[in-house]
Structure 1
Amino acid sequence: MNDHVIVVGLGFGDEGKGAVVDALCANGDVSAVVRFNGGAQAAHNVIADGRHHTFSQFGSGTLAGVPTRLSRHVLVEPIALATESRELEAIGVDNPLSLMSIDTNALLTTPFHVAANRARENARGDGRHGSCGKGIGETAWYGLLAGHTKGEVVEGQEVLGYPGPAPRVGDCLNPRMLRQRLDVLAKFYEPLIGDGISVDELVMLYRAFADAVRITNDQLPEGRLVFEGAQGVLLDETYGFHPHTTWSTVVPRNARELLDGRPARVIGVTRTYQTRHGAGPLPTEDAGVLARFPEAHNGTGEFQGAWRAGHLDAELLQYAVRCCGGIDGLAVTHLDATGLQVATIEGLVELVDPVAYLSDLLGVGVEVTGAGPNRADYQVRTPVRI
């Protein structure tokens, strides 16, 4: 494959997108990985050459030496980004931040957003939405408040104060503007979270962040690009099942907008069984599936909740593909799992050959396969419809 590729998860997230992106980058012909949605809540696991990393804001091509571009559609959390950079250095990636460029218009996720997100989720009690507690929804929500005022209800949440312009990555280059926007943000959220976060300290940290990364306008890098999606289509803010959704456009729309008419292949990623992390519907949930396939890098999260599993769901897969406007190819992961079943409108049936079944079900060829956790277990194939 020599064209641009958009990688999209066809489930509730955790389909194996990171390993698929790493496999696509491993042969050296990809010039950059472009993130086109989500933020610091992403958790894409890659194991290669004896190294493991859970990618959050860095693109999953980093262990293959491929630079990352965070587009204007990504919510950027500088403190978490610095932590991730140190983790990558610890496993042998030289100067990871030199591989990163960020669009000036990307929204900033701050500790104010994180604290507010956690306060709201805790207040929901048994009605939790399954948030990761990373401030993603709060960042996106505050970004919608321009022109609104105290007491209004926006996207189901009351505006508690008087909002200002949402802080953006480019503000980190202008300390005066940054301080103004953080001061307004702090005052806005004080009724919900108190006043324990220091604006002075944040200004200092964000100035250091601006010195360490390249902040530019949203021109895409040259060469062949892989667009790495976060979360899954069944969590999409438009097409998912509310209220258990992400404040993010998971379908390929943002990537296509960034490409501005240039062609790209959309590869949908699915496991051979269904998973979900946290609250929300999982129609085929089965404790037996969960017990048979333990997760090395997924478990119960403080805010997100429990790791869950069930049988592959043919109807939900077809729905996810329709939400994407169709796909051009498939990546099928966890092919080392055995004794599988798939839920259809006729009931549960044995899933003998997942590659053949999924290719036939969705009408596209399988272009990437994964039969284990390591890069060596992944194969990029010539697109062939089975």
Structure 2
Amino acid sequence: MKGKVVLGAGFGDEGKGLVTDWLCRHCEQPLVIRFSGGQQAGHTVVANGLRHVFSNFGSGTLQGAPTYFSRFCTIEPIGLCNELAVLLAKGVQPLLYIDAQCPVTTPYDIARNRQQHPHGSCGVGVGNTLNREEQYYSLTFADLFSPWVLQTRLDLLRTFFYKEYAAASVEAFLDCCAAVVSSPYIRSTQGLPPGFSDHIYEGSQGLLLDQHFGFFPYVTRSNTGTINAVALHGSRELEVYLVTRAYQTRHGAGPMSNEHLPHNIKANPQETNVCNSYQGEFRRSLLDLSLVEYAINRDELLRSTNNRHLVITCLDHVQDEYRFTWQGSIIFCNNEAEFVRRIAATLGFSSVFISSSDDGMGIKLF
């Protein structure tokens, strides 16, 4: 089984959805596997004349690739139903496999998240869901198939774990749970579904938001590196695609280098999420290769494998802005080709892909 992992090199928004869609275009029977995070992902894909932001489905959906949400991911039934309706309205019929062990986000998780979000949370309850699971107040996808079990677990959550949020309504949540388990587009599974030629492991947030080597408390409650993908694949025989924009971004609160340096990076008029009421503003600065190198070195497979590629996206946003920083110094480049070559050489990548387009067709080998 061929396995390819798509990782973000920074704080997210690197273009992981773009790369996942592109990889699916070049596979005979791909399966997109979500191996971290959950419904807080926002991966924009432009393909086949459509534009869609994927949160609850994999970014290969417009290429007809099914999605598998692994046990490492949360699911949120209301958001899932809403996104399914949007896809169907666009003429897309997705197929989503959900592992029976996937933790389920409830309205109580979201209510607490939205009241307590000092660290730039997306406000969709992923971290609260995972924290609750660790404290034995579990609700998984398998539970949705038994109405009595589902209602009993919700009652116990409200009574003992989330009593201060007892007023949160669960009516729409229960309706969507019923819709999810009866949907012909959603299937429950125990482990990876068989019958696919390629496993495309689609990362969620970037490496610098990893819960273990990001900058706590401004991190996600997930392993955003390769560790979960290795566990699911059953081996380290994975091809890694490390994705970075041609500049650095961060959405919301938390440290980000190079913000003191002036720049004229072009704003993308179609940026997916410029301002989120819970995360905060979208921020940009010059690309910091020392931070990218740090992220690479913290991931065991990424730093040791030779089967890896660098993907640099959004090059059209840095016209006349061919600079990056390395070990505290600004590195000036004369043109795009020199810019890409020096980034690849500094990070030790011999295989590089570039993109200046929102469409996966725009990715090309450098």
Is the TM value for this pair above 0.5? Answer: yes
| Paired amino acid for 2:340 | V
The answer as to whether partners of 1:6 and 1:267 remain within 8 angstroms in 2 is yes
| Paired amino acid for 1:246 | T
RMSD: 1.9
Assess, with a 3 A threshold, how the Cα gap between structure 1 residues 28 and 289 changes in structure 2: closer, same or farther. Answer: same
Structure 2 spans left out of the alignment, 5+ residues: none
Out of 346, 349, 352, the position equivalent to 1:364 is 349
Match of 1:160 in 2: none
The answer as to whether partners of 2:310 and 2:344 remain within 8 angstroms in 1 is yes
1:349 matched to 2:355 = no
Match of 1:277 in 2: 251
| Paired amino acid for 1:144 | E
| Percent identity over paired residues | 35
| Paired amino acid for 1:142 | R
1:3 matched to 2:16 = no
**SS across alignment from 2:341:** helix
Q: What is the CA distance between 1:371 and its match in structure 2?
A: 1.4
1:182 matched to 2:162 = no
Q: How do residues 307-346 of structure 1 correspond to structure 2 at under 5 angstroms?
A: 307-325=282-300, 326=303, 328-336=308-316, 337-338=318-319, 339-346=321-328
**SS across alignment from 2:249:** strand
Q: What is the CA distance between 1:33 and its match in structure 2?
A: 0.3
Cα distance in 1 for partners of 2:273, 2:288 equals 21
Assess, with a 3 A threshold, how the Cα gap between structure 1 residues 290 and 193 changes in structure 2: closer, same or farther. Answer: farther
Q: How do residues 80-91 of structure 1 correspond to structure 2 at under 5 angstroms?
A: 80-91=79-90
Structure 1 spans left out of the alignment, 5+ residues: 122-127, 147-163
Assess, with a 3 A threshold, how the Cα gap between structure 1 residues 241 and 172 changes in structure 2: closer, same or farther. Answer: same
| Paired amino acid for 2:273 | N
Deviations 1:27-71 (A, max 9, x none): 342421000000111000111132100110210000111110110
Match of 2:120 in 1: 130
Q: What is the CA distance between 1:290 and its match in structure 2?
A: 6.6
| Paired amino acid for 2:90 | I
1:45 matched to 2:44 = yes
Out of 83, 102, 106, the position equivalent to 1:106 is 102
Assess, with a 3 A threshold, how the Cα gap between structure 1 residues 346 and 290 changes in structure 2: closer, same or farther. Answer: closer
Q: How do residues 133-148 of structure 1 correspond to structure 2 at under 5 angstroms?
A: 133-146=123-136
Q: How do residues 263-302 of structure 1 correspond to structure 2 at under 5 angstroms?
A: 263-285=237-259, 288-289=262-263, 292-296=266-270, 297-302=272-277
Assess, with a 3 A threshold, how the Cα gap between structure 1 residues 196 and 345 changes in structure 2: closer, same or farther. Answer: closer
Q: What is the CA distance between 1:367 and its match in structure 2?
A: 4.4
The answer as to whether partners of 1:116 and 1:189 remain within 8 angstroms in 2 is no
Q: Which moved more, 1:224-233 or 1:28-37?
A: 28-37
| Paired amino acid for 2:298 | C
TM-score by length of 2: 0.91
**SS across alignment from 2:144:** helix
Q: What is the CA distance between 1:232 and its match in structure 2?
A: 0.4
The answer as to whether partners of 1:20 and 1:368 remain within 8 angstroms in 2 is no
**SS across alignment from 1:192:** helix
Deviations 1:226-279 (A, max 9, x none): 000000010000010011100111011000000112611111111110000000
Assess, with a 3 A threshold, how the Cα gap between structure 1 residues 23 and 102 changes in structure 2: closer, same or farther. Answer: same
Cα distance in 2 for partners of 1:289, 1:101 equals 44
Q: Which moved more, 1:42-51 or 1:280-289?
A: 280-289
Out of 196, 209, 215, the position equivalent to 1:241 is 215
Assess, with a 3 A threshold, how the Cα gap between structure 1 residues 35 and 57 changes in structure 2: closer, same or farther. Answer: same
| Paired amino acid for 2:188 | I
Match of 1:117 in 2: 113
| Paired amino acid for 1:170 | A
Q: Which moved more, 1:292-301 or 1:179-188?
A: 292-301
